[in-house]
Structure 1
Amino acid sequence: MNYPDTTKQGNHSSSRSAAAVVIDELRAAILHNRISGGERLRQDAIATQYGVSQMIVREAFKQLTAEGFLKAEPRRGVSVAILSAEEAWEVSQLRALMECQALRWAIPNMLRGDFVQCEQVLDELDASGSVDGKILLNARFHALLYAPAKRTRTLEIIDNLRMNFERYLRFTWEETHHLEQSQAEHRTILELCKMRDTERACDALRKHILATGDLLVDSLNDSQRA
């Protein structure tokens, strides 16, 4: 789909909207592996594809580089970033720190409606027949857990870390039976939240995140040795 070149209107908000469209489209393409890791992106080709100016594409590249989806190198241009095993380990450690803190803030504010929504999402996750659907529902469950914390900046950071991690999660889930274990852990975490057992809930969440991280690190190490 092509989008109009809104930069010609001289409207800053329109220009930003066009950049946001390109950012969202490229991010989704990377997340769903429609653009492979290491693939180089040409600014002029992207501008033509989306019907926008190269200035807007530069803005999109800058944002996606900051988010960790793209890598910019002098004289080599921009390419889709490839997560190394070392980076995956670091991201999983950061996720554990940030998400456990968010849960710690969230538990005192949780209401019955929050628990009901979480349970509904877990039931949908059990019933989902596609890996992509399961990944979206997994993200939804975690977002619902942390939302009562009402810490906007923290939740934005968590979301960015999750998206970078999510690029590789589908391969981990397709190659292992970890999803079943992950679901059992989700339900344990939710039950501990209902009990307002903050320490045990945070400990269960930390182990849950790090276990997934360990699987991803092992998978990336195997692929790097191959």
Structure 2
Amino acid sequence: MTAALREGILHGTLPGGERLRQDAIATRFGVSQMIVREAFRQLVTEGFLRAEPRRGVSVAHLTADEAEEMTELRSLIEAKALAWAIPQMSKSDLETAARILSELDKAKSTDRIIALNARFHETLYAPARKDRTLAMIANLRLNFERYLRFTWQETHHLDQSQREHRQILDLCTARDVEGACKLLNQHILGTGNLLVERLQSHRL
């Protein structure tokens, strides 16, 4: 049920601002209100829901300020994870990342592109073996997916993204920590800034 609610928010079937009633959700999924309460608590922690005293929970709105904050955090944390990971990367890690990029070249649907993009980055960071950092990255990327989906048509730049992905992978292969982290930082900020601009224009 938690996963189903999360998917609904990610795909926009539960839009920002919509209030979720505990009893209605319990009936819909055929579960107890205690289970729904725990699901709400989890999704509030993840940033998908907002809790207000005496008003229950509602789906969090997409905002330019939050997108900018997440972009800045991601650019810092993911670059640090990559710096830790590069010295530990094996040939198998690099080959796996390259295969994912080849799959991305052929991907057509938004769901497939977003999933493969996430797998590529996860593959690069995994050798760091920093569980707390990787968990933070996973949560930030999951929340950021809402923004990416919302503005996908306006900011779709897969060709440029793939060029940057391959350049980052080449730098990882060369064990160029500074170069790879600098490019990753620019890569994340570039996408994030496009999304922020789109959200700001949408608000106006």
Determine if the TM-score, normalized by the shorter chain, exceeds 0.5: yes
TM bucket, shorter chain: over 0.9
1:82 partnered with 2:61: yes
Residue by residue over 1:78-113, the C-alpha shift from the partner in whole angstroms, topping out at 9 and shown as x without a partner, is: 111012111111110000111001000100010111
Q: Per-residue displacement from partner, 1:53-85 (whole Å, max 9, x unpaired)? A: 101111110110011000111232211101211
| Mapped pair 1:205 → 2:184 | yes
4+ aligned runs moved over 6 Å, structure 1: none
State how far apart, in whole Å, the 1-side matches of 2:11 and 2:150 are.
11
Aligned equivalent of 1:126: 105
Does 2:144 match 1:165? yes
Checking the alignment, whether the CA contact within 8 Å between 2:67 and 2:195 is kept in structure 1 is: yes
Which of 55, 78, 81 is the equivalent residue of 1:102?
A: 81
Residue number in structure 1 paired with 2:42: 63
Q: TM-score, normalised by structure 1?
A: 0.88
Q: Which residues of 2 match residues 1-226 of structure 1 at below 5 A?
A: 22-225=1-204
Percent of aligned pairs with the same residue? 62
Q: Which runs of 5+ in 2 are unaligned?
A: none
Q: Point out the structure with max Rg over C-alpha.
A: 1
TM-score, normalising length: structure 2: 0.97
Alignment root-mean-square deviation, CA = 1.0
Task: Tell me, yes or no, if the aligned pair for 1:131 and 1:174 is still in contact at 8 Å.
Answer: no
Distance 2:143 2:149 in 1: 12
Deviation at 1:212, TM superposition (A): 0.8
Distance 2:150 2:100 in 1: 22
Contact kept in structure 1, 2:104 and 2:113, CA below 8 Å: yes
Larger RCO, structures 1/2 (Cα 8 Å, 6+ apart): 2
In 2: Cα distance, 1:172 partner to 1:204 partner: 23
Q: How many Å separate the matches in 1 of 2:60 and 2:101?
A: 31
Distance in 2 between the 1:98 and 1:87 partners?
16
